[in-house]
Amino acid sequence: MKIAIGNDHTAYDLKLIIAEHIKKKGYEVLDLGTHSSEKCDYPVYGEKVAMAIKNKEADRGILICGTGIGISLAANKVNGIRAAVCSDAYSAKMCRAHNNAQILAFGARVVGVDTAKMLVDEFLNTEFEGGRHENRVKLITEIEERN
Ligand code: RB5
Protein backbone atom coordinates (compact mmCIF):
# COMPACT_ATOMS: atom_id res chain seq x y z
CA MET A 1 0.00 0.00 0.00
CA LYS A 2 1.32 3.44 -0.92
CA ILE A 3 0.93 6.29 1.61
CA ALA A 4 1.20 9.94 0.56
CA ILE A 5 2.49 12.14 3.34
CA GLY A 6 2.49 15.93 3.55
CA ASN A 7 3.33 18.50 6.20
CA ASP A 8 4.21 22.10 6.88
CA HIS A 9 7.34 23.43 8.61
CA THR A 10 5.98 22.80 12.12
CA ALA A 11 5.77 19.07 11.42
CA TYR A 12 8.94 18.37 9.43
CA ASP A 13 10.69 16.42 12.19
CA LEU A 14 7.57 14.44 13.10
CA LYS A 15 6.94 13.68 9.41
CA LEU A 16 10.39 12.07 9.12
CA ILE A 17 9.72 9.92 12.18
CA ILE A 18 6.28 8.85 10.91
CA ALA A 19 7.58 8.13 7.40
CA GLU A 20 10.27 5.88 8.89
CA HIS A 21 7.72 4.21 11.18
CA ILE A 22 5.43 3.22 8.33
CA LYS A 23 8.28 2.23 5.98
CA LYS A 24 9.40 -0.26 8.65
CA LYS A 25 5.90 -1.73 8.56
CA GLY A 26 6.22 -2.32 4.82
CA TYR A 27 4.31 0.65 3.41
CA GLU A 28 5.63 2.57 0.43
CA VAL A 29 5.88 6.31 1.21
CA LEU A 30 5.26 9.15 -1.23
CA ASP A 31 6.68 12.20 0.56
CA LEU A 32 5.12 15.31 -1.00
CA GLY A 33 6.89 17.77 1.31
CA THR A 34 7.62 20.17 2.69
CA HIS A 35 11.18 18.95 2.90
CA SER A 36 12.63 21.30 5.53
CA SER A 37 11.71 23.32 8.62
CA GLU A 38 11.68 26.56 6.62
CA LYS A 39 8.34 28.40 6.97
CA CYS A 40 5.78 27.46 4.32
CA ASP A 41 2.02 27.43 3.73
CA TYR A 42 0.11 24.31 4.82
CA PRO A 43 -2.67 24.49 2.14
CA VAL A 44 -0.11 23.67 -0.55
CA TYR A 45 0.67 20.31 1.05
CA GLY A 46 -2.94 19.56 1.96
CA GLU A 47 -3.87 19.89 -1.69
CA LYS A 48 -0.87 17.85 -2.91
CA VAL A 49 -1.75 14.85 -0.74
CA ALA A 50 -5.47 15.12 -1.52
CA MET A 51 -4.72 15.20 -5.26
CA ALA A 52 -2.42 12.18 -4.95
CA ILE A 53 -5.37 10.26 -3.44
CA LYS A 54 -7.84 11.59 -5.99
CA ASN A 55 -5.51 10.68 -8.89
CA LYS A 56 -4.86 7.24 -7.37
CA GLU A 57 -1.12 7.88 -7.02
CA ALA A 58 -1.49 6.79 -3.38
CA ASP A 59 -3.96 4.65 -1.43
CA ARG A 60 -4.07 6.67 1.79
CA GLY A 61 -2.71 9.98 3.03
CA ILE A 62 -1.22 11.42 6.20
CA LEU A 63 -1.14 15.19 6.79
CA ILE A 64 0.58 16.98 9.64
CA CYS A 65 0.68 20.69 10.48
CA GLY A 66 0.76 22.48 13.84
CA THR A 67 -2.80 21.48 14.77
CA GLY A 68 -3.79 19.25 11.84
CA ILE A 69 -6.69 21.62 11.25
CA GLY A 70 -5.53 23.94 8.46
CA ILE A 71 -3.95 21.21 6.39
CA SER A 72 -7.07 19.00 6.67
CA LEU A 73 -9.38 21.89 5.77
CA ALA A 74 -7.33 22.39 2.60
CA ALA A 75 -7.42 18.68 1.72
CA ASN A 76 -11.18 18.53 2.27
CA LYS A 77 -11.69 21.17 -0.44
CA VAL A 78 -10.73 18.57 -3.05
CA ASN A 79 -13.87 16.78 -4.26
CA GLY A 80 -14.20 13.24 -2.99
CA ILE A 81 -11.63 13.67 -0.24
CA ARG A 82 -12.37 12.94 3.41
CA ALA A 83 -9.56 14.05 5.71
CA ALA A 84 -10.09 13.52 9.46
CA VAL A 85 -8.21 15.40 12.17
CA CYS A 86 -7.58 13.05 15.08
CA SER A 87 -5.71 13.21 18.34
CA ASP A 88 -6.89 9.92 19.85
CA ALA A 89 -6.53 6.35 18.61
CA TYR A 90 -10.27 5.60 18.76
CA SER A 91 -11.08 8.43 16.35
CA ALA A 92 -8.21 7.42 14.05
CA LYS A 93 -9.76 3.94 13.85
CA MET A 94 -13.36 5.11 13.47
CA CYS A 95 -12.60 7.65 10.72
CA ARG A 96 -11.74 4.59 8.62
CA ALA A 97 -14.40 2.20 9.92
CA HIS A 98 -17.39 4.57 9.71
CA ASN A 99 -16.34 7.55 7.59
CA ASN A 100 -14.04 5.89 5.04
CA ALA A 101 -11.58 8.77 5.44
CA GLN A 102 -8.70 8.42 3.02
CA ILE A 103 -6.54 10.92 4.91
CA LEU A 104 -5.53 11.11 8.57
CA ALA A 105 -4.46 14.53 9.83
CA PHE A 106 -2.95 15.44 13.18
CA GLY A 107 -1.07 18.25 14.86
CA ALA A 108 2.64 18.16 15.58
CA ARG A 109 1.99 20.74 18.31
CA VAL A 110 -0.85 18.65 19.72
CA VAL A 111 0.25 15.02 19.88
CA GLY A 112 3.54 13.45 20.94
CA VAL A 113 5.53 10.99 18.85
CA ASP A 114 4.12 7.83 20.44
CA THR A 115 0.52 9.04 20.09
CA ALA A 116 1.19 9.99 16.46
CA LYS A 117 2.45 6.45 15.77
CA MET A 118 -0.66 4.97 17.41
CA LEU A 119 -2.95 7.19 15.33
CA VAL A 120 -1.20 6.14 12.15
CA ASP A 121 -1.28 2.43 13.07
CA GLU A 122 -5.03 2.49 13.82
CA PHE A 123 -5.73 4.43 10.65
CA LEU A 124 -3.70 2.14 8.39
CA ASN A 125 -4.89 -1.11 10.00
CA THR A 126 -8.62 -0.38 9.75
CA GLU A 127 -10.90 -0.98 6.78
CA PHE A 128 -14.21 0.78 6.03
CA GLU A 129 -17.10 -1.27 7.42
CA GLY A 130 -19.49 -0.27 4.64
CA GLY A 131 -23.07 -1.45 5.31
CA ARG A 132 -25.13 1.26 7.04
CA HIS A 133 -22.19 3.66 6.77
CA GLU A 134 -22.12 3.47 2.99
CA ASN A 135 -25.15 5.70 2.52
CA ARG A 136 -23.96 8.25 5.11
CA VAL A 137 -20.67 8.69 3.29
CA LYS A 138 -22.61 8.98 0.03
CA LEU A 139 -24.69 11.78 1.63
CA ILE A 140 -21.44 13.64 2.36
CA THR A 141 -20.42 13.35 -1.28
CA GLU A 142 -23.84 14.63 -2.34
CA ILE A 143 -23.34 17.81 -0.30
CA GLU A 144 -20.20 18.41 -2.33
CA GLU A 145 -22.05 17.83 -5.59
CA ARG A 146 -24.92 20.17 -4.57
CA ASN A 147 -22.83 23.14 -3.46
C1 RB5 B 1 1.61 27.40 11.46
O2 RB5 B 1 2.02 28.36 12.40
C3 RB5 B 1 0.26 26.85 11.85
O4 RB5 B 1 -0.72 27.82 11.71
C5 RB5 B 1 -0.08 25.63 11.04
O6 RB5 B 1 0.90 24.65 11.22
C7 RB5 B 1 -1.39 24.93 11.37
O8 RB5 B 1 -1.49 24.67 12.73
C9 RB5 B 1 -2.60 25.52 10.80
O10 RB5 B 1 -3.72 25.02 10.95
Q: What is the pLDDT of residue 124?
A: 98
Report residue 107 CA to chain centroid gap.
11
Q: CA dist 90 to 48, 57, 115, 125, 133, Å? A: 27, 27, 11, 12, 17
68 lines ligand 1 (CB under 6 A): no
Distance 118 CA to ligand 1 centre (A): 22
The amino acid sitting at 83 is: A
Task: Read off the pLDDT of residues 61-71 as tens digits, 9 standing for 90 and up.
Answer: 999 999 999 99
Query: Taking the C-alpha atoms of 109, 112, 117 and 120 in order, what is their torsion angle to the nearest 10 degrees?
Result: -30
Q: Is 81 in contact with 103 (CB distance < 8 Å)?
A: yes
Q: Is 9 a catalytic residue?
A: no
Count: domains in the chain:
1
69 Cβ inside 6 Å of ligand 1: yes
Q: Please tell me the predicted confidence (pLDDT) of residue 77.
A: 98
pLDDT per residue as tens digits for the range 91-134: 999 999 999 999 999 999 999 999 999 999 999 999 999 999 99
* Ligand 1 center from residue 45 Cα (angstroms): 12
Q: What is the CATH number of the domain that holds 24?
A: 3.40.1400.10
Residue 56 pLDDT grade (very low, low, confident, very high; cuts 50, 70, 90): very high
Catalytic hit among 40, 65, 86, 95: 65
Percent of residues, the chain, with pLDDT higher than 70: 100
User: Mean pLDDT, the chain, as a whole number?
Assistant: 98
C-alpha 66 to ligand 1 mean position (Å): 4
- Domain around 110: 2-146
